[in-house]
Amino acid sequence: MFEGLVAHRLLALFVLGWLLLSFPLLGLWDRDITVLGLPLLPAALFIGWAALIATLAWITEHREA
């Protein structure tokens, strides 16, 4: 299905997502700060999650000529 560079990029994205959503790094965002009225932790979670999904879509849909 996925071969070569695409498979390596997907594996790297998986590891990045795992690290992004792990507890020690999530603890960095647990502060009493708001971003546009939202607490920092949920805002960081949703922004990171959306970035992971967008990167996944770009990797899987991007065709190298």
pLDDT, tens only, 9-56: 999 999 999 999 999 889 999 999 999 999 999 999 999 999 999 999
Distance CA 58, CA 65 (A): 15
Rounded Cα gap, residues 30 and 50, in angstroms = 19
What is the reported pLDDT for 65? 45
Question: How much is the pLDDT for 4?
Answer: 85
Which tops the pLDDT comparison, 63 or 54? 54
- Kindly list the distances between the CA atom of residue 36 and the CA atoms of 2, 10, 29, 30, 58, in Å, as whole numbers in the listed order: 40, 32, 15, 16, 28
